[in-house]
């Protein structure tokens, strides 16, 4: 059958490669486009800008972006970008993430780190769920004292309501009027600043040694 000289094969391959590079040879089944760079400087810069835009669009389409909207939001949060913009839908949010990821890749940032950051954000969101922890003994004692005080007040209130319901002669309105008349006979001897803003309410402690005030200033 004969033999093909190896040197001839190499020369033929080199000639074909040179022809393809010059645009004189078109390979079958291969999409190829030959563009001549213009001699004018402005035209050359415009052509380079156009080629850069085409390359950017190609890289943008090739970039893998999650389709789940929750994952898209997590990656945006990991990039310290707004999770959503006014009037933005799921597709617009996904396209915005794609552009941000492309910009991060062009800046040399490691996108695998972005995945780790998104996972960390997801874990932080999960950790925000309700959980219980054991409180100190002081907290338990304070809550028991509050409960006992509240129960005594509730018992007295219920007994008073039952007494007034059983005795029609008792009039709560008359009792309130008598208390208001007694307050009119009181004289102010001193005052104390409770808050920078108006006081909303106040109440004495159970032993009447302290007066607790609540103001609008918090």
pLDDT of residue 151: 95
Alpha helix segments (H runs only) across the chain? 6-22, 41-62, 69-78, 90-106, 111-127, 137-166, 172-184
Residue stretches of the chain with pLDDT short of 50:
1-4, 118, 121
98/142 same-domain check: no
pLDDT of residue 163: 82
Quote the pTM value: 0.30
107/55 same-domain check: yes
pLDDT of residue 1: 44
51/105 same-domain check: yes
121 and 78 in contact (C-beta within 8 Å)? yes
Range of the domain at 105: 45-111
106/67 same-domain check: yes
Q: How far apart are CA 90 and CA 76, in angstroms?
A: 13
pLDDT of residue 158: 93
pLDDT of residue 19: 60
* Residues sharing a CB contact under 8 Å with residue 195, sequence separation 6 or more, in sequence order: 213, 215, 216, 217
Number of domains in the chain: 2
pLDDT of residue 177: 86
Q: Is residue 212, in this structure, part of any structural domain at all?
A: no
Q: Is residue 35, in this structure, part of any structural domain at all?
A: no
Q: Is residue 31, in this structure, part of any structural domain at all?
A: no
Query: How many other C-beta atoms are found inside a 10 Å radius of the C-beta of residue 96?
Result: 18
Q: Is residue 80, in this structure, part of any structural domain at all?
A: yes
Q: Is residue 124, in this structure, part of any structural domain at all?
A: no
- 213 phi/psi in degrees, rounded to 5: -120, 145
Q: Is residue 189, in this structure, part of any structural domain at all?
A: no
Q: Is residue 129, in this structure, part of any structural domain at all?
A: no
107/144 same-domain check: no
């Amino acid at each position: 059958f004969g033999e093909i000289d190896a040197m001839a094969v190499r020369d033929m391959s080199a000639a074909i490669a040179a022809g393809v590079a010059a645009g004189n040879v078109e390979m079958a089944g291969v999409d190829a486009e030959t563009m001549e760079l213009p001699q004018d400087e402005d035209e050359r810069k415009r052509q380079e800008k156009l080629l850069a835009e085409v390359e950017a669009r190609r890289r943008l389409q090739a970039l893998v972006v999650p389709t789940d909207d929750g994952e898209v939001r997590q990656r945006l949060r990991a990039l310290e970008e707004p999770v959503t913009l006014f009037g933005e839908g799921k597709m617009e949010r996904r396209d915005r993430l794609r552009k941000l990821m492309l910009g991060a890749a062009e800046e040399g940032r490691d996108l695998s780190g972005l995945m780790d950051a998104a996972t960390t954000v997801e874990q932080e969101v999960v950790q925000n769920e309700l959980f219980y922890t054991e409180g100190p003994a002081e907290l338990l004692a304070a809550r028991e004292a509050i409960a006992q005080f509240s129960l005594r007040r509730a018992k007295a209130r219920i007994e008073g309501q039952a007494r007034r319901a059983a005795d029609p002669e008792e009039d709560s309105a008359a009792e309130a009027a008598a208390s208001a008349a007694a307050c009119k006979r009181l004289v102010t001897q001193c005052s104390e600043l409770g808050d920078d803003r108006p006081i909303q309410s106040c109440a004495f402690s159970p032993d009447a040694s302290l007066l607790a005030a609540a103001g609008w200033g918090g």
